[in-house]
Structure 1
Amino acid sequence: MSNKATGFTLIELIIVIVILGILSVVAAPKFIDISSDARISVLESFEGSMRTASNLVNLKAIMAGKTDCATNPTIQVGTESVTLRCGYPCPHPNGIAKTVSFDDSFVWVGGNCSGQLGSIDVRLNDAPDPANCKIRYTSARSTRAPTFTLTTTGC
């Protein structure tokens, strides 16, 4: 009579557990990072929408002859009246914020259209540090188009 044991030995089980532990240590940071990457992608996408809207408003302002930098004229975009600075939307809620669609995910902070250095921040509301997960839209000047500065350290 032969006595054959079936199953795994203790050493085999320990080796499998160690391998699974190593794999989980390597894979876990990649899954944790995905939410940050997703927030950055949302922010980059919204920045692209803002750039496109800004350029389209500028083309409409050029056609209407409203590219003056000394005053802040308005232009009708759909049903909204958008305040301009040098032919581009002003960096405040009556300017760039009226040219893009957004939901509660974004918060507009600050904003002014006076002087040469007006800017507004668009923060991602659900970020761990919204103050450092944002787009800064700085007003156009007579020598350049508006600038978009993306900050993702808090995403």
Structure 2
Amino acid sequence: MGRQNGFTLIELIMVIIILGILSAFALPRFFDVSADARAARVNAGLGAARSALAIVNAGLGAARSALAIVNAKARLSNIGMGEVEQELTLEGVKIAVKFGYPAQPYSLLRAAGMEADFDGAGADGIVHKNTYDLGSGRCGFRYIAPTAAGEAPRFEPWPGSSLPVTAADCRRN
């Protein structure tokens, strides 16, 4: 008998079937990698805002974050330190300030230079712009501005979301 060269038709069909089965399970995961990227970007924004808040609350020196800079400028200029919302200009950007911090999410977005990637969602939400459902704002977090002097802003998960934000929060439904 002669020596066989190459593969038989059955062997080739079996390899194609196995590859088909593997791709049926693997491909859907690769199609939604963008949700992981959106979640990472939201968590980075939240982390920057949170670290700023920790620096301010700890009373440490100069800070580079948006909350610390806004608070320091408000204290130095005595603008926006009370209950009445006032406009503070920070490097040419006008920011609404109340009790020494950004008065609403949009003010925080402007102070941090995050308007390109994030939108305000309702009265206190900050959501990633690349999500399909901006109304629910699942791919984001809540910024709770202070309501009294001496209070610090807070960050909370958006309803139906979690902190830190996960890829599941940012999946396109």
> How high is the TM-score relative to the length of structure 2?
0.65
Q: Which residue of 1 aligns with 2:11?
A: 12
What CA RMSD, in Å, does the superposition of the two structures yield over aligned residues? 2.8
The structure that has the greater radius of gyration is 1
Secondary structure, counterpart of 2:32 in structure 1:
helix
Paired AA for residue 146 in structure 1? P
Counterpart of 1:78, as a letter, is E
Aligned to 2:45: 46
Could you say which residue in structure 1 is the equivalent of 2:133? Answer: 129
Tell me, yes or no, if the aligned pair for 1:69 and 1:87 is still in contact at 8 Å.
yes
Q: Does 1:81 align with 2:100?
A: no
Once the 2 structures are TM-superposed, how far is the Cα of residue 102 of structure 1 from its aligned partner? Answer: 3.7
Matched, 1:100 2:112: yes
C-alpha separation between the residues in 1 aligned to 2:16 and 2:28?
A: 19
Mark the runs of 5 or more structure 1 residues left unpaired by the alignment: 112-118
Which residue number in structure 1 is paired with residue 69 of structure 2? 56
User: How much does 1:104 deviate?
Assistant: 4.9
Alignment partner, residue 35 of structure 1: 34
What TM-score, normalized by structure 1, do the two folds share? Answer: 0.71
Q: Summarize deviations over 1:15-57 as a string: whole Å, max 9, x none.
A: 3224323432342243133111011112222334545312221
Judged with a 3 Å threshold, the aligned counterparts in structure 2 of structure 1 residues 103 and 75 are, in CA distance, closer, same or farther, namely: closer
> What is the rounded CA distance, in whole Å, between the counterparts of 2:116 and 2:101 in structure 1?
25
Gaps of 5+ in 2: 51-64
Residues 90 and 79 of structure 1: is their aligned pair in 2 closer, same or farther, counting only changes over 3 Å?
A: same
Percent identity over the alignment? 30
Provide the C-alpha distance between the structure 2 equivalents of 1:8 and 1:124, rounded to a whole number of angstroms.
Answer: 51
Q: 1:71 aligns with which of 84, 88, 93?
A: 84
C-alpha deviation, 1:65, in angstroms:
4.2
In structure 2, C-alpha distance between the alignment counterparts of 1:154 and 1:41, rounded to whole Å: 10
Residue 60 of structure 2 corresponds to which residue in structure 1? none
- Given candidates 153, 161, 169, the residue that maps to 1:146 is 153
Q: Which residue does the alignment assign to 1:21?
A: 20
Higher relative contact order (CA 8 A, sep 6+): 2
